[in-house]
Structure 1
Amino acid sequence: MPGQIRGKCRISVFVSGTGTNLQALMDYQQLHPDWPAEIVLVVSDKPRCQAVDRARRAGIPVFANEVKAYPDKAAYEADILRALQEYDVALIVLAGYMRLVGPTLLNAYRNRILNIHPSLLPAFPGRTAVRDALAANVSETGVTVHYVDEGIDTGPIVAQRVVPVEPGMTEADLLERVHAVEHELYPATIAQVIMDRQM
């Protein structure tokens, strides 16, 4: 494949939105040549999202198709799987991918799909974790990196970091603080997983 770096674990980043975590991973890869991962493919279910634009500007190959263009979710994931195999992807990294991963990809990449979530799981799973933490009036929340299974944010936890919640914080304030932690924790955890598993 073009751009392959010898000895690197070939990863695919799955996105659906603005792509702040994707950008952080791309920046980290650029700044740390010893990072053991190489982003070889970005996958999105939202062809017009900002994350796809970020990947294209960086020259990273993109698979971006809407699920509704396929007969069903299995057909959609089978097409993704073909792209992953074409680029010899060893590890999938979800970074704001707002869709449950189905059996087609789970079975092919069992225990090789990571997700980052903006809470200290098992607290506040789902899409509104930051809002839910504020509503619960907790003094701290956090960031979790975990393996993906059939559930919603239920897979085995790999790494966590605490994020303090200050009185009077808005959702935007807390989200900014969470993102800062995510952008540090995710590349470090990906590297640790690759090295521990000798991927």
Structure 2
Amino acid sequence: MTDVVNQETIEPWELISPPVETVDLTLPQRLRLGVLASGSGSNFAAIAQAIAAQTLNAQIQVLIYNNPQAKAAERATQYHVPTVLLNHRHYPHREDLDGEIVKIFKAHNVEWVVMAGWMRIVTAVLLEAYGDRVLNIHPSLLPSFPGIHGVEQALAAGVKITGCTVHFADLEVDSGPIIMQAAVPILPTDTAETLHARIQIQEHRIYPQAIALAAKLKP
């Protein structure tokens, strides 16, 4: 998972844009990341593993999670990353939650915000604090199928290829400039569960690379 992608081993449908071999992903300075997660934390783990393998020059300063049952917190503990629970149900407005997120990130010297399965809509409070240093990953080839049911939308539409997208976040859901995408075929036997599992393989592959690429694009 942490290996550099070898173009010769990629099937035609595993298109990655841009090809990672054409981009210098080395970073002179270590990125200080703040991660937001709501669920299993598999993308958090992929990023942490890339850091441990020294294929991503970064450090995760803190993980913020909003779901008390999120397994992402357990994964963070395994990697000795501080965690903070901010249960969104305790905040009457989205702006209040984002204001607390900003305070915690600033206290931990975070310079890049990475949403890794963060199931909350971000507001101007977070985006204004971190500008164009807020990243998101979505399980479709945006701009197709935005929203929380991207996998199910792709299946219902009958398309033959879907995938995942890492992009800079903005106020519109699953919008903002695209950094990197990977394509995944939809098989005749696919269910939402099997398709999502294969998409996640590509998410874990491209997210660490996309973080480095974003830092090259927005130094």
TM-score, reference length from structure 2: 0.83
Q: Deviations over 1:20-56 (max 9, x none)?
A: 111111111112x252221111111113311112112
Question: What is the DSSP-based 3-state SS (H/G/I as helix, E as strand, rest coil) of the residue aligned with 1:13?
Answer: strand
For 1:163 and 1:72, how far apart are their aligned partners in 2? 37
Structure 1 stretches of 4+ moved >3 Å: none
The total of aligned residue pairs comes to: 192
Structure 1 regions of 5+ residues with no counterpart?
A: 1-5
Aligned to 1:14: 36
- Quickly say closer, same or farther: Cα 1:70–1:165, change in 2 above 3 A: closer
| 2:113 is the counterpart of 1:92 | yes
Aligned to 1:166: 187
For 2:64 and 2:124, how far apart are their aligned partners in 1? 17
CA contact (8 A) 2:179 2:213 kept: no
Answer with 48-57 or 140-149: which moved more.
Answer: 48-57
Aligned to 1:113: 134
Corresponding letter in the other structure for 2:33: I
Question: How far apart are 1:152 and its partner, in Å?
Answer: 0.9
Question: What is the DSSP-based 3-state SS (H/G/I as helix, E as strand, rest coil) of the residue aligned with 2:193?
Answer: helix
TM-score, reference length from structure 1: 0.91
| 1:126-137 equivalences in 2 (<5 Å) | 126-137=147-158
Question: How far apart are 1:57 and its partner, in Å?
Answer: 2.6
Structure 2 regions of 5+ residues with no counterpart?
A: 1-27
Corresponding letter in the other structure for 1:11: L
Q: CA RMSD of the aligned region, Å?
A: 1.5
Identity %: 36
Match of 1:147 among 156, 168, 177: 168
Match of 2:88 among 50, 67, 78: 67
For 2:91 and 2:143, how far apart are their aligned partners in 1? 33
Aligned to 1:193: 214
